[in-house]
Structure 1
Amino acid sequence: MLNDHTNSKLFNYSKPLSNFETDINNDLNIEEVFAKINKTQSAYGAQFLYNYLLTTNYFIDTGMIEEDQRKIENLRTPKLDNLLQKANTYRDSHVIDLLHAKLELPKWIKILAIVPILLYAIGFVGILQNNLLILSIPAALCCNTIIYIWSKRELLYHMFGLSALRKFIKIAKHIHQIKSDLKGIKSDSAPNLSISTALFFQDFNNSAGKEPITGTIIETLKLITNIEFYSYWYCISKIQDNNKLLLDQYNYIGYIDMLLSLSSIEECYNTCKPQFTDKSKIDLKDAYLPLIENCVTNSIYSENGRVLITGANMSGKTIFLKQLAINIYLAQKLNLCFATHAIVPKVPVYSYISISDSLAEGESYYSSELNRIKHIIASCKKKPGLVIIDEIFKGTNRNEQVAMGCSVLKHLSKTAANTFASTHDIKLVNLLNDFENYYFEMKYDSNNYFFDYKIQKGNLMPKNAIKLAEIHKLDKEIVSDANKLYTELSMQ
């Protein structure tokens, strides 16, 4: 697998994400999800999948994905797999840089590039006539040396993509021949032959001369003739003339590779095809988070889509919320869920999980919480979605936390499609009568405390923070004082 930097190249050329979109991706650990499930074979497929998961640049209906996956599996050949697997090198990852490059020759280079040709012609005449005109040949070499050094400094980065472009065109032509007729992303035609022909010299320059002696000879010929420079700019002109076609082909190949990878994901993990509903109903059976090895599965059923989760510290509330959000997100993106059964709504996911203050911007934790809630409420007004909230308004005092939390969650229950929230406060549970209640607990067995990480129906509010402090061997005097104070506060 290519590293994160190369996988994110297509993403870097996409429309920048808003801070809110970035926060949601971070909450759902989408980059880690990509790294875990990425089964694409080519650099193009990896970049497309990364971009597809992290952005909304493409909206591909899940019905189209399912139909296209079936079509491409029926047309899959060993040759197609082989071609894609060969396009998984560092150089292949740079093709997208080349297709987005806006390159223009400086005027002095354009002028200087003509001079050696004229000087060589004059020098040839000098050889025939045996006169001083032959001195123009060293002058031509001097000009070529300047161009050669400039080219190596300015163009080396794009040489990587150009050396891999011939392979890309070969794959595009093969895919066009199998006539896949996909609906999610369409492709009308393959790159024409003129681009492939234009790449001949550049492809030769980059593939020949791997042995030290041969390489030295090739580099000397390139210095004398500057054929690399001329072929490079000829290729660039052809690429720019056919830029839209090439970019469309890039996304088309990436989409096909992503479709093929879905079958590999289904083979490696326990997944199911989701059923979608227009209602708020959510029904997940044996769902799990693929980021966690041997993750405990959980099932959840909610008819109205309003759920409040309580439970002991470290018992699994946050993991469950992420598991729910990621599965519903992937259901709509890839038409798969990490579960044995899934009925979910087709709605965007809005999250409030990982909140942090910003010292650089002078923003407190509570200000960050308010800003996230503002974005969620505004987004729900435009398009109701699944709202995931983990411990709302932790950055303020308890009474205001309950008052603000209750008010916000009541509002979201009217405007959001689904609202799932966790809390430690029984007061909030008692105030939100319209929410279904589930909980996690810490269990006790043979003088040991443990978690089973299984969600249960009900509103149990276990006390375990002080007990966990004792288990972690915090100073006994502190634990004892905390127990006494807790008892006093509970009686007030």
Structure 2
Amino acid sequence: MNWILGFLFILTIIFLYSNYARKKKKAALKKWLTERWGTSRQKEYFNFYVIERYFKNNDHKKEAFHIISDKCKNDLDIESIFKFIDRTSSKIGQQYLYFRLRTIGNLESLLQFSALTVIFQKNKTLSIHCQQLLSKLNYNDSYYLEELFNGKQIERPTNIWFVKLLSFGSLISIILTFFYPIFSLLIVAILAVNLFFHYKNKSNISYYLDGVKQLSKSLNVGKKLADIPEIKTHFKNFEFIKKVSSIQLKTEFIAFEKNVDNEFAFLFWFVAELFKILFNIEFLIFFSFIDSISEEKEGIEQLFLFIGEIDAAISTASLKESTPNSCTPNFTAENKLTATELHHPLIEDCITNNIDLNAKSMLLTGSNMSGKTTFIRTVAINSILAQTLHICFGKSYTAPFYKIYSSIRITDDLLDETSYYLEEVLTVKELVEAAKNEQPSLFVLDEIFKGTNTVERISGGKAILAYLNKPNHTVLVSTHDIELTDLLQKENYELFHFSEQIVDETLTFDHKLKAGKLQTRNAIKILELYKYPSEIIEDARNTKLNNFN
């Protein structure tokens, strides 16, 4: 009797300590989440191979208003922008946020997302509580949940009838062994065959194991989130939770092997493994599970999107709270792009600029380092953030709902033997094709056709930029070619420039956008400033005087 009381006492101590440790861990997580609210995670490691999996694999791209292409992603440093804006608490939320950043939907869905963001902005306590729940999915395994509905499903084997027959044979043999011990030999023979099927199927299970475990955890988190009144009011329809719950028992059975992490669990696993082999239970339940996954793909993806949208909305609320120099964008049916105090989110103490284009495009001139390329990137990035997260980095932003295209970074491809100029031609051709679309588009181009000679660069550039500048589109182009200013002013382009100053032998930039054509040329003066030989400076000035004035 005493040993029973001692055993119960030990169990009580273990329970109380576990409960204390759990509460302490929960309190520490809450404190950590509260302290890091609004802070960027840029210094953390971002594995974009798995972060972008949902964006790459899902079929919703077909329904989207516009997809940010890989070319545009590279031109605008979208991965760096993502690192700055990401405040998600789960890997599912991180994948969804990346998908959202590169997938422009319709205005209605954007406003619904914005409304959810506002809920979390107004209630920080609710945000922290939800983040605590979402943190249960902040493990790398959670990246693989999307494989359950996006991955290729394993086909049901044709010999499953034989496996069922073996299971029935095991049961009959065990019963007969009580009466005729000789049948124990049949059990051994069947067990040997079952071993083959059981462990052959382990590779199938391992393919799904990470995603399966996360499905069970995600469902539990989803249920708790769905019980929160504010979330229940916003989403309303939770039919997908009922559908996914219908396969929860199979899910937890398949995921059990992933949870074997101590000696006691291993002992239970060993006994259960023998039982599963003898009756082919794991094999049969696994393929029943695969059938269920196929039937409930839509519900599982809705669960993914539900969790992801909540996490992304909290992340965006955190972003807005930490950036007081941001604004909520306005969208107009007119071809009018207006913004005040616009700035690049990745540049500390960034100089702000205004833009006001009414049914016109912009031709931007200036020297290197003056800010031309940064400015057109700034406008494009803010346009994307406006249409995906309903936030802009500036005092105000009004524009049409754009499709966004770019031609900024061009490189020659040595492996494909593609020259720089041909790569430019192929890139710009995509913009030319996009210009045929009647929906408003924003085209951003830097130094068009710099891979060819001056005469043909200016001639070809003028023709293409005039073609892109259709009544429903806006073009932002930066160039060193002053000759384009007179040509494109006739094609409904407004002229702007950035300039530098040389004061007391020091080169300075104010990075402020100025109206009109660039009047100064300081390239030769800068050579002199940086101590080039005097004969080079004199030769350059004579050549300029005799040939270009």
- Common fold, TM-score beyond 0.5? yes
Of 501, 521, 532, 1:443 maps to 501
What are the residue-to-residue correspondences of 1:67-216 with 2, within 5 Å?
Answer: 67-71=115-119, 76=126, 79-101=129-151, 102-108=153-159, 110-111=160-161, 113-114=163-164, 116-125=166-175, 127-129=177-179, 131-177=181-227, 178=229, 180-182=232-234, 188-192=239-243, 193-207=245-259, 209-212=260-263, 214-215=265-266
Which amino acid in structure 2 is aligned with residue 323 of structure 1?
Answer: T
Match of 2:402 in 1: 347
Tell me, what secondary structure is at the counterpart of 2:80? helix
Q: Is the 8 A contact 2:435 2:470 kept in 1?
A: no
- Whether the aligned pair in 1 keeps the contact of 2:352 and 2:512 (CA below 8 Å) is yes
Stretches (4+) displaced over 4 A: 15-20, 56-61, 71-75, 185-189, 359-362, 464-484
Q: Which runs of 5+ in 2 are unaligned?
A: 1-43
Q: What secondary structure, in the 3-state scheme, does the structure 1 residue paired with 2:310 have?
A: helix
- Identify if the C-alpha distance between structure 1 residues 412 and 78 changes in structure 2 by more than 3 Å, giving closer, same or farther: closer
What is the correspondence of 1:460-479 to structure 2 with a 5 Å cutoff? Answer: 460-466=518-524
Look up the SS of the partner of 1:381 in the other structure. coil
When residues 191 and 414 of structure 1 are mapped into structure 2, their CA distance, relative to the original with a 3 A threshold, is same
CA deviation profile, 1:273-310 (whole Å, cap 9, x unmatched): 01222223322222222233443332223334321111
| Change over 3 Å in CA distance of 1:51–1:406 after alignment to 2 | same
2:365 pairs with one of 298, 310, 326: 310
Question: TM-score if structure 1 supplies the norm length?
Answer: 0.87
Structure 1, gaps ≥5 residues long: none
How does 1:237-256 map onto structure 2 within 5 Å? Answer: 237-256=291-310
Once the two structures are superposed, the pairs formed by residues 209-358 of structure 1 within 5 Å of their partners are 209-212=260-263, 214-215=265-266, 218-219=269-270, 221-222=272-273, 225-226=276-277, 227-269=281-323, 270-358=325-413
How far residue 331 of structure 1 moved from its aligned partner, in angstroms, is: 0.9
Identity over aligned residues, as a percent?
28
Q: Of residues 33, 36, 44 in structure 1, which corresponds to 2:84? A: 36
Residues 413 and 419 of structure 1 are in contact (CA less than 8 Å); yes or no, is this contact kept in structure 2? yes
RMSD of Structure 2 on Structure 1 (CA) = 3.2
Instruction: Encode CA deviations 1:416-468: one digit per residue, 9 max, x unaligned.
Output: 42121111122111222242222122222332223332222232254344555
Q: Which amino acid aligns with 1:240?
A: S
Deviates more, 1:333-342 or 1:2-11: 2-11
Q: C-alpha separation between the residues in 2 aligned to 1:144 and 1:475? A: 86
Structure 1, residues 365-402: CA drift from partner, whole Å, max 9, x if none?
33333333333233222123122121122122112222
TM alignment of 1:365-376, pairs within 5 A: 365-376=420-431
- Aligned amino acid, residue 205 of structure 2: L
Q: Label 1:476 to 1:143 Cα distance change in 2 as closer, same or farther (>3 A).
A: farther
CA contact (8 A) 2:364 2:478 kept: yes
Q: Per the alignment, in what secondary structure is the counterpart of residue 140 of structure 2?
A: coil
TM-score (norm 2): 0.79
Matched length: 488
- Tell me: CA distance 1:449–1:231, structure 2 relative to 1, closer, same or farther (3 Å): same
- C-alpha distance in 2 between matches for 1:281 and 1:331: 15
Alpha-carbon distance in 2 for matches of 1:436, 1:205: 66
Counterpart position of 2:510: 452
2:292 partner amino acid: K
**What is the one-letter code of the residue matched to 2:53?**
K
Kindly tell me: are residues 472 and 204 of structure 1, through their superposed partners in 2, closer, same or farther at Cα, counting changes over 3 Å?
farther
Deviation of 1:103 after TM superposition, in Å, equals 2.1
**Residues 182 and 372 of structure 1, relative CA distance in 2, 3 Å threshold:** farther
